[in-house]
Amino acid sequence: MEISEKEQKYLRIFISRETLQSSDVHRRLLERKGEVSLVTVKRALSDLSGRGLIRSVGSGPTTAYVITTVGRIFTDLDATAYCSVEPDKRFGITRYDPAVMRDMPEDIFSEEDLAFFETATGEYLKRSEDLSPTIAKKELERLIIELSWKSSRIEGNTYTLLDTEKLILENKEAVGHDRAEARMILNHKDAFAFVREHVSEFDTVTRANLEKLHSVITGDLGVGVGLRSRPVGVVGSVYHPLDNVHQIREGVDDITSAVSRATSPYAKAFLALLGISYLQPFEDGNKRTARIMANAILLRYGRAPLSYRSVDENEYREAMLAFYELNSIVPFRRIFLAQYDFAARNYAVR
């Protein structure tokens, strides 16, 4: 959905989920030094309502508006600024909203985004052609090392990239580190190998492939297998995932539906990554599972897998929190685009 910057200004006003009349919106725009007439505001609100980004409440002189799920999904916002406020003082949503995945549009990337992806994929396919067995092996090792390092680091693992390389290639654990850190990294290697061996099973997310992948990524870490039946919290967030196993099961089905109806491999991988992270269906290892699942889908459709090597961990977490609490995909969409371009131009995996 193409949304202009002028329209985004309106959505950013509504993202706090307040119910506002046109006069309220007009006043806030003036406070932000936006020179606009009330007539223009009313016309813009009517247009946004017609496009399903906001909806009207009441009628006549008392007509007001509130943002819709789709409006939240496409609101462009500053995740860093939002997360700079203490968690308990933020206005974000505190509970999982099933409508987010159920109402997720099938086209979440613009035509410009898709052209960007396809150009990067063309570069990736050229790099992956006619590789000798030796080079192919080294390229795969490099991707696995960098993915295992950065994905683990996002979760607080303190291994360096060099430590990770020695662990994966020489099975040498770094001195002074908890053995669980080594296991976390090696599990990424095992999970990526599992995906490559069973790549045909990853057209979409299913309960079966999700639970199997999770069991590999959390192996020997003392994490319970299967969908959780107890509540979990998110550090530094007001957001609380579902705590009912039956609702979690429905949530997985909603992710399956959203991924299945997405119209491009990039959207399928992106929605798997966000959906699993948002639902948090397991006791632990949810985001690691989400990242490997997204790569499984990309590999299934012949696209470049992501290592996240160049991503800033804080930026990653902030963008994810913006999705948890505000349901906006836009901050993380920027990260996904950049990381896909990086992967396509730096790796050759066949």
pLDDT tens profile 73-116:
999 999 999 999 999 999 999 999 999 999 999 999 999 999 99
**Does residue 21 form part of some domain?**
yes
Number of domains in the chain: 2
Residue 176 three-state SS: coil
* Residue 157 sits in the same domain as residue 272: yes
Q: Is the pLDDT of residue 183 over 80?
A: yes
* Residue 235 sits in the same domain as residue 341: yes
pLDDT tens digits, residue range 19-29?
A: 999 999 999 99
Q: Is the pLDDT of residue 203 over 80?
A: yes
**Does residue 180 form part of some domain?**
yes
* Positions of E strands within 60-129: 64-67
**Does residue 87 form part of some domain?**
no
Average pLDDT over residues 214-221: 98
Angle of the 133-154 helix axis to the 286-300 helix axis, nearest 10:
150
* Residue 339 sits in the same domain as residue 248: yes
* Residue 183 sits in the same domain as residue 320: yes
**Does residue 139 form part of some domain?**
yes
* Residue 161 sits in the same domain as residue 204: yes
Q: Which of 257, 147, 251, 132 has the alpha carbon at shortest distance from 196?
A: 147
CATH number at residue 71: 1.10.10.10
* Residue 199 sits in the same domain as residue 146: yes
Give me the amino acid identity at 19.
T
Q: Is the pLDDT of residue 59 over 90?
A: no
DSSP 8-52: HHHHHHHTT---EEHHHHHHHHHHTT----HHHHHHHHHHHHHTT
**Does residue 340 form part of some domain?**
yes
Q: Which whole-number Å values give the CA distances from 275 to 30, 46, 104, 148, 261, in the listed order?
A: 37, 31, 10, 21, 14
pLDDT tens digits, residue range 268-285?
A: 999 999 999 999 999 999
pLDDT cut 70: percent of the chain above it: 100
Is residue 231 very low, low, confident or very high in pLDDT (cuts 50, 70, 90)? Answer: very high
* Residue 194 sits in the same domain as residue 141: yes
* Residue 134 sits in the same domain as residue 261: yes
Q: Where are the alpha helices (DSSP H) in 103-239?
A: 111-127, 133-154, 161-170, 179-197, 207-217
**Does residue 204 form part of some domain?**
yes
* Residue 291 sits in the same domain as residue 149: yes
Is residue 262 very low, low, confident or very high in pLDDT (cuts 50, 70, 90)? Answer: very high
* Residue 226 sits in the same domain as residue 109: yes
Q: Which of 24, 43, 76 represents a domain boundary (last residue)?
A: 76
CATH number at residue 182: 1.10.3290.10
**Does residue 90 form part of some domain?**
no
Q: Which of 45, 76, 107 represents a domain boundary (last residue)?
A: 76
Angle of the 286-300 helix axis to the 207-217 helix axis, nearest 10:
120
Residue 8: predicted pLDDT: 97
* Residue 69 sits in the same domain as residue 104: no
Is residue 38 very low, low, confident or very high in pLDDT (cuts 50, 70, 90)? Answer: very high
* Residue 70 sits in the same domain as residue 112: no
CA distance 256 to 152: 25
Average pLDDT over residues 8-12: 97
Look up the domain containing 256 and give its range: 99-346
Q: What is the pTM of this model?
A: 0.96
DSSP, res 79: H
**Does residue 170 form part of some domain?**
yes
